[in-house]
Amino acid sequence: MHAPEFEPRTALAVIPAVDVLGAGAVRLRQGDFGHVLLREDDPDALVIRFVEAGARLVHVVDLDGARSGRIRPDLVRRLARTAAPARIQASGGVRSPLDAEALLEAGASRVVVGTAAFTDSGSLAAYREALGESLVVAIDARAGRVVVQGWQHETPVTAGEAAERCAAAGITRLLCTSVDRDGTLGGPDLHLLAEVRERSGLPLLAAGGITSVDDLATLARLGCEGAIVGRALLDGTLPLSILQPS
């Protein structure tokens, strides 16, 4: 299935990422739990820093949950309260529609589902019915194939195939991360993103390697709805002022 041509977006939402491991916030290189690039002791302080800079949505990843398959509603509840009036997009550990609904009840405005969305042929429809437009399906890809369980396991499904499955199931928003680029400051994987965008025809959040204002402009021209940025904001490669709504 091929999508029609898309008009470039004049405005791209820049969404800061807060990845929580244990009690702190970290940035990993290519999803490697043994390769911590940056560490912040207080995730709440990091959320406040981003919101005060202008962020309207914060992408929160529970890395422990992603690896273990267990959600932490208390973590989401706390960070949602910290972020208010900005919103939280929660990710990590969701393995059932009930898990996803629990995170919405805890205060998340959107819930990202990756691993569980591709467990069987009916999973996508079940999540769509439970969450509606609050659902974001994550297509996390390494060397073009979808990876799951905290990016620790590769599946035979290609990113393009996953994109088509999502479109056929009526999913309304995707998040595509290039695991190969994540945390590297190497620039986004434009080929991967273009394939997912074209084969799904859906609003797309891009992640992985985003480093510069030029990267953001390129993603806007590609038709992406938003860009999730982690390391570049934490180490100052991109200024926090980029979070101010345009």
- Are 82 and 42 contacting, i.e. CB atoms less than 8 angstroms apart? no
Q: Is 42 an annotated catalytic residue?
A: no
Active-site pick, 19, 62, 64, 182: 19
Establish whether 19 is a catalytic residue: yes
Q: Do residues 89 and 58 make contact, with C-beta atoms less than 8 angstroms apart?
A: yes
Going by the DSSP 8-state scheme, the letter that residue 144 receives in this structure is T
Angle at 62 between CA 56 and CA 63, to 5 degrees: 130
Q: In angstroms, how far is the first alpha carbon of the chain from the final one? A: 34
Separation CA 168–CA 85 (nearest Å) = 34
Q: Is the peptide bond before 43 cis (omega within 30 degrees of 0)?
A: no
Q: What is the spatial distance between Cα 53 and Cα 41, in angstroms, rounded to a whole number?
A: 19
DSSP annotation string for 47-111 = HHHHHHHT-SEEEEEEHHHHHHT---HHHHHHHHHHHTTSEEEEES---SHHHHHHHHHTT-SEE
**CA dihedral sign of residues 182, 219, 191, 214:** negative
Active-site annotation holder among 62, 140, 189, 215: 140
Cβ atoms of 25 and 46 closer than 8 Å:
yes
Q: Which residue has the tokens 């302080």?
A: 45
Q: Which residues are catalytic?
A: 19, 140
